[in-house]
Amino acid sequence: MTASVLARARADAAAGAWERALDAVHPALTGAHGSTEALAIAANAALALRRDPLALTLLQTLLERQPTLDSARRNLSRVHNRLALAAKA
């Protein structure tokens, strides 16, 4: 993934253009060598778009790479809570 693609995805995320940010980093997520930053951007976008199953997968992958990333742990907890509430509804 090129730096310019990540920069664009960062800018889209900062502007709240979550769909564009997710689309921008998608190619980097299909390979085993996707960047940690691309995973974080995609996870945040999935959270904002309420795509909880996708967010769950992305956050789990992110935490496999960086197990001490507190923000990812908090977001993973949010996703688990939202999925549990959705299952009860």
pLDDT in tens, 40-57: 999 999 999 999 999 999
Total tally of structural domains belonging to the chain: 1
What's the domain range around 9?
3-88
Instruction: Provide the CATH number for the domain around residue 52.
Output: 1.25.40.10
> Which has more pLDDT, 58 or 89?
58
Longest dimension (CA), the chain: 42
Q: What angle is formed at CA 83 by the lines to CA 74 and CA 11, rounded to 5 degrees?
A: 55
pLDDT value, residue 77:
97
Kindly calculate the radius of gyration of the chain based on its CA atoms and give it in whole angstroms. 13
H/E element, 7: helix 3-14
pLDDT above 70 for 11: yes
pTM given for the model:
0.89
Residue type, 3: A
